[in-house]
Amino acid sequence: MEMCTPFLLTDLDGEDQHFPGERPALLCFVKEDCPTCREVMPLLAALQAKLAATMDLRIIGQTREGNHTLAQTHGVSVLDDSALKVAFAYSVETVPTVYVTDAQGRLQSTLVGFVRDEWLELVRELLGEAACEALLDWSKLPAWRPGCGSLSVDPAHAERLQAEAENSPLRARRIEVASQDDEFEFMFDQGFSDGLPLVPPTPERVLRMLAGTARDAQDVIAVMPPNMAEVTVEKIAVNAVMAGCRPEYLPVVIAAVEAVCTDEFNVHGMMATTMGASPVMVVNGPIRERLGMNMKLGALGQGNRANATMGRALRLVIRNMGGAKPGGTERSTLGNPMKFTMCFAEWEERSPWSALHVERGFQPEDSVVSIFTMTSGPTLIVDQDSRSASQLAGSFGMSLESAFHPKAHFATEVLLVICPEHVDTLTRDGFDKADIRARIQEVTARPIRDLVADERSAVGFKQAQAQQMDEAALSRLLPKFKNDEDIHIVVAGSDAGKFSGAFHGWATGEIGSMPVSKKIEEV
């Protein structure tokens, strides 16, 4: 005789209920939104009360809210199987389904759906003819109802349950592609792509990707707006596969996802703004070399798999999990190429100054990803003639004054990428990062009167504001950036060429986005 699977569930009071117990049992799987289940609930309620002294009647519900509704409406005890593991173990396809067992858990009989005559026969066996007839008015019950599909066979849950039963780390819903369909075109059609081809995320590829991290595949890394989707390690791995990452890149992408989902970073605002903001990833620490990242010639361009695919993987997570798709919540007026990817490593060894991650509070031996919200860049700063640090830093300031608009002061921040030849010019005169920032602020300082809207441009202080100011206020010098710390500095690029670059930021502080750095957890 077939043995039923033992289980432990809790009732709505949080009390553990075991099966099998020491008595025969009637196990009834139901869900609140099933019309057939609702019709038979009065019968189950009456039966649960009648059998209380001799038999365990376990009503097993499939949703937390629905379980409470059934219990309150019908005055019954309901066990919580909202994880659906028991329904899956019992291969329940239809609710209601009833299993009758003896005290040892051996299966005696099964009912599926509702057929009045079958239920009458069962209750007669349990209670006897007279008690069965007195239990309730059977004529009010329908002669037959087909029941509804169990949530345990719903495609939204079935593959997760199967994976759990097989001890597989994969829980994501699988999508079947017809044999005659082109899988690359299919992914375009499904809206998964940023406009470039994707690597199909087969289970084998996702499992290989997950080998790049020691974290559990079902760890929830963040909740990503605007969809407020739970982003698991597995879902990040799926998008990393599609982006073309190698498994060893996965910890960087995980840290980047953590960073952008913080309140400080404000990923929803960044993607929704019509200004066209996008994340820029800067990687520091030993992991740069291990991943073969480019920090030298062409560091901000194409040609390096680690740089390109890690930046792209972050964008795909934001798109496919967060829902930031052009025309939806992604509202960029023009957009920019950084929407595909922008990730590079700082050439720390070529810099005489503290590396970016050390400035941001980490240890030199830490591997860290820092994420900035930028609206344009890299904008080239061409200065092949300055021979002093003061001149060169002055050139930086003159170039950075165009961020947003020359009249827009205190409005944004920048990420300044200084090339090695420019580093040499600056260090010959002993300039450190503080000196560079101070010189930029000095060169960009303008009297407020020069920043007032006029016939040339309406950007800047409004005339009404200016009219409230006295001569001293109008003469006050206002540097480009509200704080020196709004000028972020890293070193990258080829040893040859006096061409530095800059990324222009978005709105800063609590009204916009703040840079966020996260330590990378390697295997």
pLDDT-derived band of residue 170, with 50, 70 and 90 as boundaries? Answer: confident
109-126 b/e (C-beta count within 10 Å ≥ 16 → b): eebbbbebebbeebbeeb
Q: What pairs with residue 404 in β-bridges?
A: none
> How many domains is the chain built from?
2
Centroid of chain to Cα 234: 11
Q: Which residues on adjacent β-strands are paired with residue 107? A: 101
What is the domain extent for residue 262? 184-445+480-519
Confidence of residue 180 (pLDDT cuts 50, 70, 90): confident
The C-alpha angle 422, 424, 425, rounded to 5 degrees, equals 65
- What are the pLDDT digits (tens) for 5-22? 999 999 999 999 999 988
Same domain, 265 and 121: no
Stretch 333-357: mean pLDDT = 97
71 or 167: which leads in pLDDT? 71
The pLDDT assigned to 264 comes to: 96
Identify which has the larger pLDDT, 81 or 179.
Answer: 81
Q: Which of 38, 50, 340 is CA-nearest to residue 195?
A: 340
pLDDT at position 92 over 90: yes
Say if residue 312's pLDDT is above 90: yes
393 and 265 share one domain = yes
**Cβ contacts of residue 367 below 8 Å, gap of 6+?**
283, 284, 285, 286, 287, 288, 519, 520, 522
Task: Give yes or no: residues 225 and 279 share one domain.
Answer: yes
Q: Which residue has the tokens 């038979």?
A: 40
pLDDT at position 167 over 80:
no
Q: Pairing mode, if any, of strands 278-284 and 148-149?
A: unpaired
Both 394 and 513 in one domain: the answer is yes
Assess whether pLDDT exceeds 90 at residue 262.
yes
Domain presence at residue 146: yes
Answer yes or no: do 123 and 195 share one domain. no
> 460 in a domain, yes or no?
no
Q: Are 421 and 498 within one domain? A: yes
Instruction: Kindly tell me if the per-residue pLDDT of 79 is higher than 70.
Output: yes
How many residues in the chain? Answer: 523
Average pLDDT over residues 461-473: 93
pLDDT attached to residue 358: 98
Confidence of residue 266 (pLDDT cuts 50, 70, 90): very high
* Radius of gyration, CA atoms only, the chain: 32
- Considering the domain architecture, whether residues 83 and 225 belong to the same structural domain is answered as no
User: Is the pLDDT score of 1 beyond 70?
Assistant: no
Q: What's the pLDDT score for residue 159? A: 73
Q: CATH number, domain at 115?
A: 3.40.30.10
- In this prediction, residue 157 carries a pLDDT of 86
Higher pLDDT, 163 or 89: 89
Q: What is the pLDDT of residue 232?
A: 96
Kindly state the average pLDDT of the residues 218-235.
95
Domain co-membership, 367 together with 218: yes
pLDDT for 483: 96
Report, as an integer, the average pLDDT of 262-287.
Answer: 96
Residues 327 and 367 in one domain: yes
The mean pLDDT value for 112-140 works out to 92
Query: What is the rounded distance in angstroms from the CA atom of residue 217 to the CA atom of residue 236?
Result: 9
pTM over 0.85: no
* Averaged pLDDT, 354-373: 98
Statement to judge: residues 297 and 404 lie in one domain: yes
Question: Rounded mean pLDDT of 196-209?
Answer: 92
Residues 6+ apart with CB under 8 A from 455: none
Report which residue type is found at 332. Answer: S
Looking at every residue in the chain, the average pLDDT score rounds to 94
Q: Quick one: average pLDDT of 184-200? A: 94
pLDDT, residue 369, reads 98
